[in-house]
A and B are shown apart, each in its own frame.
Chain A
Amino acid sequence: MAAPNLANLSNDPLEPRVLIEGKQTDATLNDSLLQHVWRGAGKGWWACFSVALALLGLLVVAVTWTLYKGIGSWGNNIPVGWAFGIINFVWWIGIGHAGTLISAILLLLQQKWRTSINRFAEAMTLFAVICALLFPLIHTGRPWFAAYWLLPYPSTNGIWPQFKSPLVWDVFAVSTYFTVSLLFWFLGLIPDLASLRDSSKSPIKRRIYGLLAMGWRGSGRHWAEYKWAYLLLAGLSTPLVLSVHTIVSFDFAVSVLPGWHTTIFPPYFVAGAVFSGFAMVATWMIPARHFLGLKHVITIRHIENMCKVMLATGMMVTYGYIMEHFIAWYSGNPYEFSQFFRVRQRGPMAPVYWLMIFCNVLVPQLFWFKRVRTNLAIVWIASIFVNVGMWCERFTIVVTSLHRDFIPSSWKMYAPTWVDISLFAGTIGLFSTLFLLFLKFVPAVAVTEVKELRHEMAHDAEPRAAGGAH
């Protein structure tokens, strides 16, 4: 692929943006964007896949051990009743948010640059939510009951879930989120699955892709219905971007614990979610566009835009931190003051807090600079820092708040066990496994939408070119 044309990367919003590079036709796009599905699995893919699979195996072992031994195999204690389980849950859910934001909100806002990355991001949403969903279940003492007692169903014992508890809201929020994300992702895939069906050489693959394409023929009516459905689902997803993490934040905000009992949590959690989500998309996309040969559709412009989103949401998160501390001081509540100014900054868990500040507050400041935004290596490293920072943020909120609360006699330290660490590493394995499979079997870029975008841009360019001739 040709090197990105930096001269074209003007910040003038009126300038047409380079969202597809080179001279492309439908056919070249079809070939280039589907080729990674038809190409045999390379050594690199297998190497990555075996690492991911090994981590997934670790996850299975850790989950089994947890179910066999109990939560005692984790590092949790009293007062630190929640730790890695909930941290990972919130972290993964947050990561999913980028996908929804890109696919839904940016669609409604008619941001064209989303086209090349939305499939990618939506898949990440789906897989991240799968990873997240594991934790609320296995972190309970008796998952075999938790699996259905949290659902409101009429049972003979006449007990309903307690609707005052944010954990019940969580069940609704996250399950809705998963369902809508799955539908949205799948709906967007249908035309591409049809393309795969049409271009596949083996009859079995054709049958499978055919089945998945749900009889898509590309008729005008299909397209009309499809567009409507897609738009409606986008509309449905939009509030979810805000609601899911708002409700997740209620798990904390509703409590009385200093460090949790904070009204700023909903917006601050949503911003944090988008922040970490975009970081995760960047972490995966930068290598993927290189190895899958997608540089012509996922251009440096896309990366730069993502950096800008990270910068914006990072600033929001920073604002959240500042307000938390301000209110802790301004409210005059000694417990809160102690939590924010003594325990977090100087307590035994302080290194995590300072790492969080470094990653989430300082690192995104790099994105003010275009030179940084266009340097893929730096962006990639920074995005990993942001992922780490957002995990540290959840650790600080969950563990640091819990380990020192009201009455000092019950203060205790927390240390994770091998099971905790395996579960976290294991979900990364699960995520990677699913993602590598996705890259192998499904077009990573929404081919249809890119083609459509090409047409639109071509169409936009014609009258301007014509006008210039006059």
Chain B
Amino acid sequence: MSCEDNHDKKDADRKARRSRALTIVSGVSEAGRAGAAGTSAPDAASDAAADTASAPRYWRSVAERDRTAAWEQAAHREFPPGASELNDDVSRRSFMQLVGVSTAVAGFGVACRKPNEKIVPFVRRPEEVTPGNPQHFATAHELEGFATGLVVESHEGRPTKVEGNPDHPISLGAATSYDQALVLGLYDENRARQISRNGDPIAWRTFLDDVSRRGQALAADGGAKLRFLTEPTASPMLGDLRRRIIEKFPRAKFVSYSTLGGEAGFEGARLAFGRPLQPRQHFGEAAVILSLDADFLGDGPEQLRHSRHFAARREPGTNMNRLYVVEPSMTITGGMADHRQRLRGLDVAAFTLGLIAALTDRPGFESLAPLAGLARAQSAGKTWDAKWLAAVARDLEKNRGRSLVITGRRQPAAVHALVNALNVALGNLGKTVTFGAPVLVDGTNGALALGSLAEDIAAGQVDTLVITARNPAYTAPADLKFAQLLRRVPNTIYHTLYEDETAAASHTLVPAAHVLESWGDARAVDGTASIVQPLIAPLWGGIPESEILAAFVGDGDVGAHQLVRRYWKDRLGASQDFNAAWERWLADGVIAGTAVPAEEGLAVDAPALAGALSPLLAPKPEALELAFVRDAKVFDGRFGNNAWLQELPDPMTKLTWDNSLQISQTTAQKLGLETGDLVSVDFRQRKMEAAVMIVPGHVDEAVTLPLGYGRTGEGEAVAKGVGFNANLLRASDALWFGRGVTLTKLDERYKFGLTQDHWTMSPDGRDIPPPAVETPLMQLLKEGSEFHQELEARRGPAATIHTPVDYSSQKYKWAMAIDLNRCTGCNACVTACQSENNIPTVGKANVMKGREMHWIRIDRYFSGSVEDPTVITQPLACVHCESAPCEYVCPVNATVHSDEGLNEMAYNRCIGTRYCSNNCPYKVRRFNFLEYNGDVTAARQMGMNPDVTVRSRGIMEKCSFCVQRIERKRIDSRIAGVPIADGDIQTACQQGCPSAAITFGSLHDTNSRVSKLHASPRRYDLLHELGTRPRTAYLARVRNPNPELARAE
């Protein structure tokens, strides 16, 4: 199937899609029209393919961009600060050239040219496209098998921005950084492009013939030597295809594998309730939450929904929830905790049993009695704070039916089962936690599943292996030696986005279509199905997964579009109008009535559970613990080639372009290590090197290593050679935690690219008004307390000798409010802003120099002790001061104030003195030190937001309050003749925020949400004492400590 075919199909169905855009007149700025305005997508794509076939297009340093020989050598880990340009950029030869050029230039001055631009207009304009007006289409992104509903903005057929679908039960209008960065991944020049067999290009038709011939041969013994290795998926269509394949090849096997496998939850439910079930938490109902190593705000398929519901109950008052977190390393969930207990991952089970032991004596917990013996035996003599545990137990007990215990993907099934038993005993079942039939096609998708496949391969039982899973050769636990085993399979068909580690071990390579290029379907955790629709024809000839599978049942040439339509037509039945339903599904982004109902009448058989658990809870040796964790930037490595995500600072460590061996200060001191030391990590006779980073709040006697780094795949220029490969130490039976790791300090130092070097709000001990304010709930509820006086002093009119500008005659007075109580620091706003505003990435070397370009940054502060700190995160973008220090120092009037109060940048006028940045007390201005957009590829240009100017070298830039969105709504409102209503304009950061921490609107509307927040008793202005009168107000964070523990502290 070709590009054109797919595009035609897409055209045919275009009318069916949802268009949320109402604007008629374009308010597009002229300079940023990245990609010629009317170029149709496939043309531009092939142009792009043609003219940038060779070089890497997302780079970590300028050197990499230029691919100098010096860079090739230095690429692995040498990013010296300071003097790097000499080493990286100037070879002797280029130096001589430079000298020559200099001599010429010295005499004649430098001529700087403006880029040549070509605009190719549409010859025939598609009916539904008004150039300049974006369209929005609903689709879904499946990660770990579960879907998040998305709405994608498309400009003239080019997807430019991914947003959450407000109608989707999981997304609720927000989107994670992973979702939002899809748009960069789509246009990635490194993506695999060519179907090949043993390195030789072949046609799709040839591939189909191949599969069909091989299928006939395999069918002889019922497909006994045919295996499929897929991602975990809940796609009904793929499930159906699988059923058909098994029908045809009854002895073939499907294996789902994900390195982050979520199977413990199902297994935990099986242990507790007798059958595998999908747990679902309802944070909106929970008053007291205990998280046992569950990063529910930052990780997992429901993080967006959880964030929204959790934040909703953070409104200070009697209804405010309380969060206890037990975890080994700092997560954003731990950062939001009211009380946090550091505990090693393998001790969490004992802690859970300790909690059960503490509760079994109480009235009403009789159901836990059979576990009491086990609980007492296992939890005796442990080192956690007994007072803490007792207080938590009492708090949970007091809030029966309104409490929630949750555990995460890293904990074994036994802990999940105990948590289920606890929730049942606490009366939370059906209230704060429900269970539904699993929606995943395969319940087991972890290392066990892969292990059985590995055994089959080793035994020579596999002749043909079809891999649609993401890079198993890299993600597989080291003990399986999966990459070596793969080479022993006679025929491997690998369906992949990138020519990665697995591609190197496979025979036939089929480039995958990106999620934004494919037809398909997916289901959310609650079962709600969505149709996945393409936004653009495959740029590099990618094939959707469904077409590969369909090839095995002879439907290889049907196409994903027809496959998904056929499936849903059959499912809908002949009685209903399929076309009408289909259009509605596409427009809504969800298929109503597909959610899985909560199971009723679940009961825990505690004696059986106790029996089942005892063997699972073997005592653990006392030794240094090694823990692995999903990386906040690149997930399991699959987003490694995405420069936005690589440069997204880790929410806690603020590390970019790397992972690190996290360790507590105490343990580091004990081992004689400090941040930046390179160590050899030995675990079970396997070893790797990693650089140490001391992280406040990390548990002692343990180290944590995020997954997803140390990639070696040839096809991924951005990901290759970045960070340290944790998978080299992972074993099937120690997937997340293992004891007995040893660290040996090497005589070498490593430099990290951190966007924030300091931990506290006052690293030099100065007594300043803290930038991020927090207080306990009791303080807030006490009127006229010291805290209130403090905040009072930090808002309202500041002393000035000038007459403040009068904005009352203006129609709107734009302002923002950021509720620190809701902000978890998840980074969704940062990626949203990057995507909306065409913000370039700068690479590790430039991050190390302090030149990252994010317009909104999330400041993270630790307070208290380094061992047990509290964390507060503070998003900070331009605060649009009414009396802006940046404006009066600009010599050329390039930054000026709008009538409605925006601090605006006239990029064309900027000469780059950087005085504005020097004088900005918030340091939110960003300077294009180099031509960061210089080598944007033709493909990447298609993904640029045409409403926002792409900035060139030497120019200052910063947050504009998404002025392009304001102007678009202004046009709408002028046409409609009504004023812009509150909530009509959402800035990109606001829209991306899962916890609704950011609010934007006009202060002239006294009923607007932002006006109300500006009047909040928690409101304060950052650096109020400078008299800048910022338009962004902050709402102080309020913690809700348990009075019992607060007193103890």
Rounded to whole angstroms, the CA-CA distance of A408 and B767 in the bound complex is: 13
Asked, given contacts A61-B99, A409-B771, whether A418 binds B889 with beta carbons under 8 Å apart, the answer is: no
Q: What residue in chain A is nearest B101 (Cβ atoms)?
A: A64
Quick one: closest B residue to A171, CB to CB?
Answer: B891
Instruction: Check B86–A76 contact: CB distance below 8 A.
Output: no
Q: Which of B62, B86, B954 has the most CB of A within 10 A?
A: B954
Contact B914 A63 (CB under 8 A): no
Q: Using an 8 Å CB-CB cutoff, how does the interface string of A50-83 with B read, 1 for contact, 0 for none?
A: 0000000100110111011111111111111110
A337 and B83 within 8 A (CB)? no
User: At the interface with chain A, which of B2-10, B360-368, B805-813, B922-930?
Assistant: B922-930
Given contacts A149-B911, A255-B918, contact A167 B851 (CB under 8 A): no
Q: Among the interface residues B758, B764, B891, B917, which one has the most CB atoms of the partner chain A within 10 A?
A: B891
Residues of A within 8 A of B82 (CB): 75, 415-417
Stretch at the interface among B103-111, B167-175, B452-460, B671-679: B103-111
How far does the Cβ of A392 sit from chain B's closest Cβ, in whole Å?
A: 19
Let me know if B923 and A141 touch, CB within 8 A: no
- List the A side residues contacting B83 at CB < 8 Å: 415, 417-418
Q: Decide if B756 touches A142 in the complex (CB within 8 Å).
A: no
User: In the complex, how many angstroms separate the beta carbon of A249 from the nearest chain B beta carbon?
Assistant: 14
Residue of A nearest to B923 (CB): A410
Q: Is the CB of B923 within 8 A of A78?
A: yes
Shortest distance between the CB of B273 and any CB in chain A (Å): 47
**With A70-B930, A408-B762 as given contacts, are A150 and B891 in contact (CB-CB < 8 Å)?**
yes
Say yes or no: B850 contacts A70, CB within 8 Å. no
From residue B1028, how far is it (CB to closest CB) to chain A in Å?
8
Cβ-neighbour of B925 out of A78, A145, A416, A419 (below 8 A): A78
- Does any Cβ of A come within 8 Å of B913's Cβ? yes
Chain A nearest CB: distance from B928 CB in Å? 7
> B891 near A406 (CB under 8 angstroms)?
no
Chain A nearest Cβ from B655, distance in angstroms:
14
**Is the beta-carbon distance between B954 and A81 smaller than 8 angstroms?**
no
Q: Is B766 an interface residue (CB 8 A)?
A: yes
Q: CB-CB < 8 A to A68: which residues of B?
A: 98, 101, 110
Instruction: Report the minimal beta-carbon distance from B1020 to chain A, rounded to whole angstroms.
Output: 14
A347 and B85 alpha carbons, distance in the complex (Å)? 27
- Cβ of A254 < 8 Å from any Cβ of B? yes
Q: Is the CB of A81 within 8 A of B771?
A: no
Contact B768 A76 (CB under 8 A): no
A150→B849 CA distance, assembly (Å):
29
Contact B930 A69 (CB under 8 A): yes
**CB of A407 within 8 Å of the partner chain:** yes
Q: Are B929 and A72 in contact (CB under 8 A)?
A: yes
Task: Say yes or no: is B919 at the interface (Cβ < 8 Å to chain A).
Answer: yes
> Is A144 an interface position by the 8 A CB rule?
yes
Considering only CB atoms, which chain B residue lies closest to A412 in the complex?
A: B850
Instruction: Tell me the complex Cα distance, A65–B84, Å.
Output: 14
| Contact yes or no, A417 B930, CB < 8 A | no
Q: B888 at interface (Cβ–Cβ under 8 A)? A: yes
Query: Is there a chain A Cβ closer than 8 Å to B112's Cβ?
Result: yes
Q: Which residues on the B side are within 8 Å of A334 (C-beta)?
A: 766-768
Contact yes or no, B929 A76, CB < 8 A? yes
Q: B955 interface residue, CB < 8 Å from A?
A: yes
Residues of B within 8 A of A338 (CB): 764, 766, 768
The answer to whether B921 and A407 have CB atoms under 8 Å apart is yes
B859 within 8 A of A: yes
Task: Report how far A258 CA is from B644 CA in the complex, Å.
Answer: 34
Residue in A71, A159, A255, A405 whose CB lies within 8 Å of B912: A71
Residues 725-760 of chain B: 1 if any A CB is under 8 Å from the residue's CB, otherwise 0? 000000000000000000000000000000011101
CA distance A288 to B908 in the complex (A): 50
Asked if B478 lies at the interface with its beta carbon under 8 angstroms from chain A, I say no
A79 adjacent to B102 (CB under 8 Å): no
- Picked from A166, A337, A407, the residue with its CB within 8 Å of the CB of B771 is A407
Interface membership of B761, Cβ < 8 A: yes
Q: Is the CB of B86 within 8 A of A77?
A: no
B1026 in contact (CB, < 8 A): yes
From A164, which residue of chain B is reached at the shortest CB distance?
A: B888
Interface residues of B in 883-918 (CB under 8 A from A): 885, 888-893, 909-915, 917-918
Give the distance to chain B from A415, nearest Cβ to Cβ, in Å.
4
Bound CA span A208–B1034, Å: 71
User: Does A165 sit at the interface, judged by CB under 8 A?
Assistant: yes
8 Å CB contact of B1026 from A171, A251, A256, A417: A256
Q: A149-B911, A334-B767 are in contact. Are A161 and B859 (CB under 8 A)?
A: no
Contacting A at CB under 8 A, from B927-976, are: 927-931, 953-956
A65 to B95, CA, bound (A): 10
A411 at the interface (CB under 8 A from B): yes
Is A404's CB under 8 angstroms from B764's CB? Answer: yes
Q: Which residues of A contact B857 (CB under 8 A)?
A: 409-410
Complex partner residue of B915 from A79, A81, A346, A418, CB under 8 angstroms: A81
Report how many residues on chain A are interfacial, defined by Cβ distance under 8 Å. Answer: 71
Q: Is the CB of B86 within 8 A of A161?
A: no
Decide yes or no whether B765 CB sits under 8 A from chain A. Answer: yes
The docked-state distance in angstroms from the alpha carbon of A405 to that of B102 is 37
The answer to whether A412 touches B757 (Cβ under 8 A) is yes
Cross-chain contact A418 with B85 (CB below 8 angstroms): yes
- Distance between Cα atoms of A139 and B956 in the complex (Å): 13
**Who on chain A is nearest to B765 by CB?**
A342
Tell me whether A141 and B954 are in contact (CB under 8 A).
yes
Which of the residues A71, A78, A342, A405 comes within 8 Å of B921, measured between beta carbons?
A405
Q: In the bound complex, do residue A77 and residue B763 qualify as a contact, i.e. CB atoms below 8 Å apart? A: no
User: Residues of B contacting A457 with CB < 8 Å?
Assistant: none
Asked if residues A415 and B81 are in contact (CB atoms below 8 Å), the reply is yes
Do A78 and B851 contact each other (CB < 8 Å), given the known contacts A141-B955, A146-B913, A406-B1023? yes
Contact of A46 with B by CB under 8 A: no
> When the two chains form their complex, are residues A60 and B102 in contact, meaning their CB atoms are under 8 A apart?
yes
B800 shortest CB reach to chain A, Å? 13
For A140, the chain B residues whose CB sits under 8 A away are: 911-913, 954
**B892: contacting residue among A143, A159, A419, CB under 8 A:** A159
- A257 at interface, CB cutoff 8 A: yes
Which one, A67, A255, A408, A419, contacts B760 given CB within 8 A?
A408
B893 pairs with A160, CB closer than 8 A: yes
| Whole-angstrom distance between the Cβ of A427 and the nearest chain B Cβ | 14
Given contacts A72-B930, A162-B890, contact A167 B850 (CB under 8 A): no
Interface assignment of B494: CB less than 8 Å from any CB of chain A = no
Alpha-carbon distance between A81 and B926 when the two chains are bound, in angstroms: 10
What residues of A have a CB within 8 angstroms of the CB of B923 in the complex?
A: 78-79, 405-407, 410
Chain B residues contacting A439 (CB-CB under 8 Å) are none
Smallest Cβ-Cβ distance to A422: which chain B residue:
B86
User: When the two chains form their complex, are residues A165 and B921 in contact, meaning their CB atoms are under 8 A apart?
Assistant: no
A438 at interface, CB cutoff 8 A: no
**When chains A and B are docked, how far (Å) is the Cα of A405 from the Cα of B919?**
10
Is A38 interfacial (CB 8 A cutoff)?
Answer: no
A347 to B757, CA, bound (A): 14
Q: Is B341 interfacial (CB 8 A cutoff)?
A: no
Task: Determine whether the beta carbon of A406 is less than 8 Å from that of B914.
Answer: no
* Those 10 A-B pairs whose CB atoms lie nearest each other, nearest first: A141-B912, A141-B954, A77-B850, A72-B930, A72-B929, A81-B914, A412-B850, A409-B859, A415-B82, A64-B102
Extra contacts, 20 of them, besides A63-B102, A337-B766, A404-B764 (Cβ < 8 A), are A60-B103, A68-B98, A69-B62, A74-B929, A79-B917, A141-B913, A143-B911, A146-B911, A146-B913, A161-B892, A165-B889, A165-B890, A255-B915, A335-B768, A407-B922, A409-B756, A409-B860, A409-B861, A410-B923, A417-B84
The interface of chain B, by Cβ under 8 A from chain A, is 62, 81-86, 89-90, 98-99, 101-103, 105-106, 110, 112, 756-758, 760-768, 771, 846, 849-851, 857, 859-861, 874, 876, 885, 888-893, 909-915, 917-919, 921-923, 925-931, 953-956, 1022-1023, 1026
Jot down 11 A-B pairs with beta carbons below 8 A, ordered by A.
A64-B105, A65-B90, A69-B930, A72-B846, A82-B914, A141-B953, A141-B954, A167-B915, A171-B891, A411-B758, A415-B81
> Which A positions have Cβ atoms within 8 angstroms of B?
57, 60-61, 63-65, 67-82, 139-146, 149-150, 159-162, 164-168, 171, 251, 254-257, 334-335, 337-338, 342-343, 346-347, 402, 404-413, 415-419
